[in-house]
Amino acid sequence: MRTWFPVRTVAWGVGPAIQVAAALLCILGRVVAAEDCSDPGAALEVGTGSARPGQRVEVPVTGRVACPITGFSLAVGHDMARLRFIEGRPSAFLAEYAKGGPLFFMAGEMNAKGYGKILALFDMSFPLTVPPTALPERTDLAVLVYEVLPDAAPGTTVLLNRHRQFEDFSNIFSAPAGAPPIEPTLVDGTVEVLPSSVAGDFLRGDSNGDRQIDITDVISVLGFLFQGASAPWCSDAADANDDGEIDISDAVRILVWLFLRDGELPAPFAAGPGQDPTIDGLGDCPVR
Ligand SMILES: [Ca+2]
Ligand SMILES: [Ca+2]
Ligand SMILES: [Ca+2]
């Protein structure tokens, strides 16, 4: 990769730099020869994520456009009473794409009328060593990382992407050959702020809560699923394969461990009781 415009992220004060970069995108669009193109199905979407207060959450930005593009610009608003912007970074797709030349990417937070505003901009063709490309399939373009503030109220908070023009910044795909920018359908994102709670430690697979993994845990799961027995003391413990659901595969997973010793169960397991490292819809374990 050439060095004068490497992949980079700027945390603050990027407004002027982005304006300059936007101008560069515009100039580049007039240099690259290509035919005009329109795509009513183009879309630029901010995704979803969930986290508890004090945790970080990563939200994808995806794009789809049938026309060749040279980049995109994006302004996303967030509720500063609940979220703090940490960083924005290019997706694995962009990083891979940019192997043929420099990738210019930046993101930063600005305060906009009570909302935080993320500015993201990439130009994957500068300085014309990488050709413009279409995104015929929905493609990950970037990741926005936020911290859920420690005192954030539970519930859904919107990542605002629906406005074509967010103050002085446009949410568009840039097109080559002096063609007008492509205006995609814009879709807001959301962050689900989960309740802040102190969860109890558990051992993965310990469905009956006796701090041991044995056949009675298998019976506990099967009894709950098929015989109307009471629910496991801790859903995360019964979710032996940590896929966020309790079903027959969890009983099988425990059996395979017990009798074949084929692969440890997901954490917390080998290192002893602990917290669930993966967020899911299962309730926290009671403290005891
Ligand atoms: Ca047990
Ligand atoms: Ca499971
Ligand atoms: Ca989990």
Write the CB contacts of 188 (distance below 8 Å, at least 6 apart in sequence): 46, 158, 159, 160, 161, 162
Q: Is 144 a residue whose pLDDT tops 60?
A: yes
Check: CB of residue 228 under 8 Å from CB of residue 242. no
* Closest ligand (CA of 209): 1
Strands 43-46 and 185-187: parallel
Cα(199) to centroid(ligand 2), Å: 19
Cα(222) to centroid(ligand 1), Å: 13
Domain boundaries for CATH 1.10.1330.10 within the chain: 197-288
Cα(206) to centroid(ligand 1), Å: 4
Q: What is the CATH number of domain 197-288?
A: 1.10.1330.10
Cα(14) to centroid(ligand 2), Å: 44
Q: Tell me the C-alpha to C-alpha distance, in Å, between residue 25 and each of 62, 177, 187.
A: 20, 11, 23
Cα(222) to centroid(ligand 2), Å: 12
Cα(150) to centroid(ligand 3), Å: 21
- Kindly report, residue by residue over 183-211, the tens digit of the pLDDT: 999 999 999 998 776 678 899 999 999 99
Cα(203) to centroid(ligand 1), Å: 8
More confident: 156 or 26 = 156
Q: Is 278 a residue whose pLDDT tops 60?
A: yes
Q: What is the CATH number of domain 15-193?
A: 2.60.40.680
Cα(46) to centroid(ligand 2), Å: 29
Tokens standing for residue 191: 């962050």
- Kindly report, residue by residue over 2-56, the tens digit of the pLDDT: 222 233 333 334 444 444 444 444 434 444 444 567 888 999 999 999 988 888 9
Domain boundaries for CATH 2.60.40.680 within the chain: 15-193
Whole-model pTM: value is 0.59
Strands 133-148 and 83-90: antiparallel
Question: pLDDT above 70 covers what percent of the chain?
Answer: 75
